[in-house]
Protein backbone atom coordinates (compact mmCIF):
# COMPACT_ATOMS: atom_id res chain seq x y z
CA UNK A 1 0.00 0.00 0.00
CA UNK A 2 1.19 3.53 -0.77
CA UNK A 3 1.24 6.05 2.05
CA UNK A 4 -0.09 9.20 0.31
CA UNK A 5 1.72 11.69 2.61
CA UNK A 6 -0.32 14.53 1.14
CA UNK A 7 0.88 13.75 -2.40
CA UNK A 8 -1.02 12.86 -5.51
CA UNK A 9 0.61 9.95 -7.29
CA UNK A 10 1.24 9.08 -10.91
CA UNK A 11 1.40 5.35 -11.58
CA UNK A 12 3.15 4.23 -14.75
CA UNK A 13 2.53 0.64 -15.78
CA UNK A 14 5.90 -0.54 -17.10
CA UNK A 15 4.51 -4.00 -17.84
CA UNK A 16 1.14 -5.68 -17.47
CA UNK A 17 2.04 -6.67 -13.90
CA UNK A 18 4.56 -4.02 -12.78
CA UNK A 19 4.73 -0.28 -12.42
CA UNK A 20 6.63 2.74 -11.19
CA UNK A 21 5.10 5.41 -8.92
CA UNK A 22 5.93 9.12 -8.80
CA UNK A 23 4.69 11.77 -6.37
CA UNK A 24 3.16 14.68 -8.30
CA UNK A 25 3.70 18.26 -7.15
CA UNK A 26 1.42 19.69 -9.84
CA UNK A 27 0.06 19.01 -13.31
CA UNK A 28 1.37 21.63 -15.72
CA UNK A 29 -0.31 20.37 -18.91
CA UNK A 30 -2.94 17.76 -19.66
CA UNK A 31 -4.07 17.61 -23.26
CA UNK A 32 -5.48 15.19 -25.82
CA UNK A 33 -3.81 15.89 -29.15
CA UNK A 34 -4.82 14.47 -32.51
CA UNK A 35 -2.44 11.57 -31.90
CA UNK A 36 -1.97 10.95 -28.17
CA UNK A 37 -2.67 11.88 -24.59
CA UNK A 38 -0.02 14.27 -23.32
CA UNK A 39 0.85 15.44 -19.85
CA UNK A 40 3.65 17.50 -18.37
CA UNK A 41 3.89 16.69 -14.69
CA UNK A 42 6.03 18.33 -12.03
CA UNK A 43 7.21 15.43 -9.86
CA UNK A 44 8.81 15.52 -6.43
CA UNK A 45 11.86 13.44 -7.41
CA UNK A 46 12.57 14.28 -11.04
CA UNK A 47 11.09 17.70 -11.71
CA UNK A 48 9.15 18.18 -14.93
CA UNK A 49 8.29 14.99 -16.82
CA UNK A 50 6.86 14.56 -20.30
CA UNK A 51 4.24 11.79 -20.32
CA UNK A 52 2.69 10.42 -23.51
CA UNK A 53 -0.16 7.91 -23.38
CA UNK A 54 0.60 7.22 -19.73
CA UNK A 55 4.32 6.57 -20.19
CA UNK A 56 7.16 8.85 -19.11
CA UNK A 57 9.32 9.94 -22.02
CA UNK A 58 11.86 12.06 -20.16
CA UNK A 59 12.39 13.93 -16.93
CA UNK A 60 14.12 17.18 -16.13
CA UNK A 61 16.49 15.51 -13.65
CA UNK A 62 17.86 12.65 -15.76
CA UNK A 63 16.91 13.30 -19.40
CA UNK A 64 20.60 13.90 -20.10
CA UNK A 65 21.24 10.18 -19.63
CA UNK A 66 18.60 9.15 -22.15
CA UNK A 67 19.33 11.81 -24.76
CA UNK A 68 23.12 11.57 -24.61
CA UNK A 69 22.90 7.76 -24.84
CA UNK A 70 20.53 8.09 -27.79
CA UNK A 71 22.57 10.61 -29.81
CA UNK A 72 26.24 10.58 -28.87
CA UNK A 73 27.22 6.99 -29.80
CA UNK A 74 26.42 7.85 -33.40
CA UNK A 75 28.85 10.77 -33.69
CA UNK A 76 32.10 8.83 -33.12
CA UNK A 77 30.78 5.98 -35.30
CA UNK A 78 31.10 8.21 -38.38
CA UNK A 79 34.33 8.10 -40.37
CA UNK A 80 34.17 11.80 -41.23
CA UNK A 81 32.84 14.97 -39.64
CA UNK A 82 29.02 14.92 -39.94
CA UNK A 83 27.19 17.75 -41.70
CA UNK A 84 23.53 16.70 -41.95
CA UNK A 85 21.34 15.04 -39.35
CA UNK A 86 17.73 13.93 -39.13
CA UNK A 87 15.71 13.48 -35.92
CA UNK A 88 12.54 11.40 -36.21
CA UNK A 89 10.21 12.16 -33.29
CA UNK A 90 11.85 13.83 -30.31
CA UNK A 91 8.99 16.14 -29.34
CA UNK A 92 10.57 17.85 -26.33
CA UNK A 93 13.51 19.03 -28.43
CA UNK A 94 16.27 17.48 -26.30
CA UNK A 95 17.35 15.03 -29.01
CA UNK A 96 17.66 17.92 -31.44
CA UNK A 97 19.60 19.81 -28.76
CA UNK A 98 22.16 17.00 -28.45
CA UNK A 99 22.52 16.69 -32.24
CA UNK A 100 23.20 20.41 -32.50
CA UNK A 101 26.07 20.11 -30.02
CA UNK A 102 28.09 18.80 -32.96
CA UNK A 103 29.85 21.89 -34.36
CA UNK A 104 30.12 20.52 -37.91
CA UNK A 105 26.38 19.93 -38.27
CA UNK A 106 25.13 22.54 -40.71
CA UNK A 107 21.59 21.17 -41.10
CA UNK A 108 19.40 19.26 -38.65
CA UNK A 109 15.86 18.31 -39.67
CA UNK A 110 13.39 17.22 -36.97
CA UNK A 111 10.23 15.46 -38.14
CA UNK A 112 7.57 15.00 -35.46
CA UNK A 113 4.00 14.40 -36.56
CA UNK A 114 2.45 15.92 -33.41
CA UNK A 115 2.71 19.70 -33.64
CA UNK A 116 0.64 20.14 -30.47
CA UNK A 117 3.10 18.15 -28.36
CA UNK A 118 6.05 20.07 -29.79
CA UNK A 119 4.36 23.43 -29.19
CA UNK A 120 3.52 22.59 -25.57
CA UNK A 121 7.02 21.26 -24.94
CA UNK A 122 8.49 24.36 -26.49
CA UNK A 123 6.44 26.49 -24.10
CA UNK A 124 6.68 24.46 -20.89
CA UNK A 125 9.96 22.51 -21.16
CA UNK A 126 12.64 25.10 -21.98
CA UNK A 127 14.95 23.17 -19.62
CA UNK A 128 14.94 20.34 -22.15
CA UNK A 129 15.10 21.96 -25.58
CA UNK A 130 17.30 24.89 -24.39
CA UNK A 131 16.55 26.91 -27.48
CA UNK A 132 17.28 24.13 -29.99
CA UNK A 133 14.13 24.90 -31.98
CA UNK A 134 15.46 28.43 -32.64
CA UNK A 135 18.89 27.32 -33.83
CA UNK A 136 19.31 28.54 -37.44
CA UNK A 137 20.62 25.11 -38.44
CA UNK A 138 17.36 23.42 -37.37
CA UNK A 139 14.33 22.76 -39.55
CA UNK A 140 11.15 21.58 -37.83
CA UNK A 141 8.56 19.61 -39.81
CA UNK A 142 5.20 18.23 -38.66
CA UNK A 143 4.33 15.30 -40.89
CA UNK A 144 4.55 11.54 -41.07
CA UNK A 145 8.24 10.63 -40.95
CA UNK A 146 7.89 7.72 -43.33
CA UNK A 147 6.18 9.86 -45.94
CA UNK A 148 8.94 12.44 -45.53
CA UNK A 149 11.66 9.84 -46.09
CA UNK A 150 9.85 8.45 -49.10
CA UNK A 151 9.61 11.90 -50.66
CA UNK A 152 12.99 13.47 -49.89
CA UNK A 153 16.15 12.75 -51.83
CA UNK A 154 18.38 14.27 -49.13
CA UNK A 155 21.06 12.13 -47.51
CA UNK A 156 21.96 12.36 -43.84
CA UNK A 157 25.13 11.39 -42.01
CA UNK A 158 23.22 10.70 -38.79
CA UNK A 159 19.58 9.69 -38.31
CA UNK A 160 18.25 9.50 -34.76
CA UNK A 161 14.92 7.73 -34.21
CA UNK A 162 13.30 8.93 -30.98
CA UNK A 163 9.79 7.48 -31.13
CA UNK A 164 7.41 6.08 -28.55
CA UNK A 165 6.84 2.35 -28.86
CA UNK A 166 3.76 1.39 -30.91
CA UNK A 167 1.20 0.86 -28.15
CA UNK A 168 -1.56 0.14 -30.62
CA UNK A 169 -1.78 -0.72 -34.28
CA UNK A 170 -1.63 2.53 -36.21
CA UNK A 171 0.76 4.84 -38.09
CA UNK A 172 3.55 4.43 -35.49
CA UNK A 173 3.70 0.70 -36.25
CA UNK A 174 4.97 1.51 -39.72
CA UNK A 175 8.05 3.20 -38.23
CA UNK A 176 9.35 -0.03 -36.69
CA UNK A 177 9.35 -2.36 -39.69
CA UNK A 178 12.03 -3.76 -41.94
CA UNK A 179 10.65 -1.76 -44.83
CA UNK A 180 10.98 1.46 -42.84
CA UNK A 181 14.55 0.63 -41.83
CA UNK A 182 15.42 -0.01 -45.48
CA UNK A 183 14.13 3.46 -46.24
CA UNK A 184 16.29 4.87 -43.43
CA UNK A 185 19.32 3.04 -44.84
CA UNK A 186 18.70 4.54 -48.28
CA UNK A 187 18.55 8.06 -46.81
CA UNK A 188 21.87 7.70 -45.01
CA UNK A 189 25.15 8.82 -46.54
CA UNK A 190 27.48 6.01 -47.72
CA UNK A 191 28.87 5.36 -44.22
CA UNK A 192 26.05 6.90 -42.23
CA UNK A 193 24.71 5.83 -38.86
CA UNK A 194 21.27 5.43 -37.32
CA UNK A 195 20.65 5.35 -33.56
CA UNK A 196 17.31 4.64 -31.91
CA UNK A 197 15.62 3.95 -28.62
CA UNK A 198 14.53 0.32 -28.45
CA UNK A 199 12.52 -0.24 -25.30
CA UNK A 200 13.20 -1.99 -22.03
CA UNK A 201 16.07 -4.39 -21.47
CA UNK A 202 14.81 -5.85 -18.20
CA UNK A 203 14.47 -9.53 -17.43
CA UNK A 204 11.32 -10.94 -18.99
CA UNK A 205 10.65 -7.89 -21.20
CA UNK A 206 13.08 -8.22 -24.07
CA UNK A 207 10.76 -9.05 -26.96
CA UNK A 208 10.58 -5.52 -28.38
CA UNK A 209 14.33 -4.88 -28.14
CA UNK A 210 15.28 -8.23 -29.61
CA UNK A 211 12.71 -8.13 -32.44
CA UNK A 212 13.87 -4.68 -33.54
CA UNK A 213 17.50 -5.81 -33.28
CA UNK A 214 16.80 -8.93 -35.34
CA UNK A 215 14.90 -6.91 -37.96
CA UNK A 216 17.70 -4.37 -38.29
CA UNK A 217 20.20 -7.20 -38.83
CA UNK A 218 18.42 -7.95 -42.09
CA UNK A 219 18.96 -4.37 -43.28
CA UNK A 220 22.31 -3.07 -41.98
CA UNK A 221 25.75 -4.68 -42.06
CA UNK A 222 26.48 -3.57 -38.48
CA UNK A 223 23.88 -3.64 -35.71
CA UNK A 224 24.93 -3.07 -32.11
CA UNK A 225 22.55 -2.99 -29.16
CA UNK A 226 23.41 -1.13 -25.98
CA UNK A 227 21.68 0.03 -22.82
CA UNK A 228 21.60 2.66 -20.09
CA UNK A 229 19.74 2.88 -16.81
CA UNK A 230 17.34 5.82 -16.82
CA UNK A 231 16.19 6.32 -13.24
CA UNK A 232 12.82 7.92 -13.92
CA UNK A 233 11.85 4.94 -16.10
CA UNK A 234 12.62 2.55 -13.24
CA UNK A 235 14.09 0.01 -15.67
CA UNK A 236 17.20 -0.36 -17.86
CA UNK A 237 16.59 1.00 -21.34
CA UNK A 238 17.76 -0.34 -24.67
CA UNK A 239 19.15 1.48 -27.68
CA UNK A 240 20.44 0.24 -31.03
CA UNK A 241 23.07 1.65 -33.38
CA UNK A 242 22.91 0.54 -37.02
CA UNK A 243 25.86 1.46 -39.22
CA UNK A 244 27.07 1.22 -42.78
CA UNK A 245 30.68 1.55 -41.69
CA UNK A 246 32.19 1.60 -38.19
CA UNK A 247 31.34 -0.99 -35.54
CA UNK A 248 31.09 0.86 -32.20
CA UNK A 249 31.94 -2.34 -30.32
CA UNK A 250 35.43 -2.22 -31.83
CA UNK A 251 36.18 1.32 -30.69
CA UNK A 252 38.34 1.93 -27.62
CA UNK A 253 37.51 4.24 -24.75
CA UNK A 254 40.37 6.49 -25.81
CA UNK A 255 39.01 6.74 -29.35
CA UNK A 256 35.54 7.61 -28.08
CA UNK A 257 36.87 10.29 -25.74
CA UNK A 258 38.98 11.82 -28.51
CA UNK A 259 36.17 11.86 -31.07
CA UNK A 260 33.57 13.11 -28.59
CA UNK A 261 35.87 15.97 -27.60
CA UNK A 262 36.08 16.96 -31.26
CA UNK A 263 32.48 16.35 -32.29
CA UNK A 264 30.54 17.46 -29.21
CA UNK A 265 30.61 20.97 -27.78
CA UNK A 266 28.87 22.11 -24.63
CA UNK A 267 28.20 20.09 -21.48
CA UNK A 268 28.30 16.29 -21.58
CA UNK A 269 27.29 14.68 -18.31
CA UNK A 270 26.91 11.01 -19.18
CA UNK A 271 28.51 9.80 -22.40
CA UNK A 272 32.21 9.14 -22.85
CA UNK A 273 34.67 6.31 -23.39
CA UNK A 274 33.91 4.50 -20.14
CA UNK A 275 30.13 4.76 -20.58
CA UNK A 276 30.50 3.61 -24.19
CA UNK A 277 32.34 0.41 -23.24
CA UNK A 278 29.93 -0.29 -20.39
CA UNK A 279 26.82 0.30 -22.51
CA UNK A 280 27.81 -1.83 -25.50
CA UNK A 281 28.97 -4.76 -23.37
CA UNK A 282 25.52 -6.29 -22.95
CA UNK A 283 24.90 -8.92 -20.26
CA UNK A 284 24.87 -12.49 -21.45
CA UNK A 285 21.10 -12.98 -21.04
CA UNK A 286 20.39 -10.04 -23.37
CA UNK A 287 22.89 -11.14 -26.01
CA UNK A 288 21.48 -14.66 -25.86
CA UNK A 289 17.91 -13.36 -26.23
CA UNK A 290 18.95 -11.39 -29.31
CA UNK A 291 20.59 -14.49 -30.77
CA UNK A 292 17.49 -16.63 -30.20
CA UNK A 293 14.97 -14.10 -31.53
CA UNK A 294 13.52 -15.05 -34.91
CA UNK A 295 10.73 -12.46 -35.13
CA UNK A 296 11.02 -10.10 -38.10
CA UNK A 297 8.90 -6.96 -38.06
CA UNK A 298 7.32 -6.17 -41.43
CA UNK A 299 4.59 -3.94 -42.80
CA UNK A 300 2.32 -6.96 -43.05
CA UNK A 301 3.21 -8.15 -39.55
CA UNK A 302 3.93 -5.05 -37.43
CA UNK A 303 4.84 -5.23 -33.76
CA UNK A 304 2.53 -3.75 -31.12
CA UNK A 305 3.76 -3.32 -27.54
CA UNK A 306 1.25 -4.33 -24.89
Instruction: Provide the Cα torsion 67, 68, 69, 74; round to 10°.
Output: 110
DSSP class of 146: H
Active-site entry in 162, 247, 257, 299: 162
Task: Please determine whether the domains at 8-57 and 63-292 fall in the same fold group of CATH.
Answer: no
Query: Which pTM was predicted?
Result: 0.96
Report pLDDT for 5. 67
Strands 235-243 and 222-230: antiparallel
CATH superfamily placement of domain 8-57: Spermidine synthase, tetramerisation domain (2.30.140.10)
Domain spans of the chain? 8-57, 63-292
Task: Convert the pLDDT of each residue in 196-208 to its tens digit.
Answer: 999 999 999 999 9
Report pLDDT for 14. 85
Q: Is position 162 annotated as part of the catalytic site?
A: yes
Report pLDDT for 6. 73
Assigned architecture for domain 63-292 = 3-Layer(aba) Sandwich (3.40)
Residues 6+ apart with CB under 8 A from 75: 82, 102, 158, 259, 260, 263, 264
Largest CA distance in the chain: 57
Report pLDDT for 34. 93
Report pLDDT for 231. 94
Rg (CA), the chain: 18
Name the helix (H) or strand (E) containing 242: strand 235-243
Give the chain's residues under pLDDT 70: 1-5, 169-171
Question: CA distances (Å), 42 to each of 46, 64, 154, 164, 306, in order?
Answer: 8, 17, 39, 21, 26
Amino acid sequence: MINPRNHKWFFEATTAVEGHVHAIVRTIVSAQTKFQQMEILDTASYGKCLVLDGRIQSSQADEFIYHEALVHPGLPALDAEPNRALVIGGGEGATLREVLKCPTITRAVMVDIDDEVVALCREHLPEMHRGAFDDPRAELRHEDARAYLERTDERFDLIVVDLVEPLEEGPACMLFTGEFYMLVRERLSPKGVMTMQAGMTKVGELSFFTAVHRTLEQVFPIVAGYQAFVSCFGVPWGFILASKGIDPRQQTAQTIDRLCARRITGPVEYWGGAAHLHSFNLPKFISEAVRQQDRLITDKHPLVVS
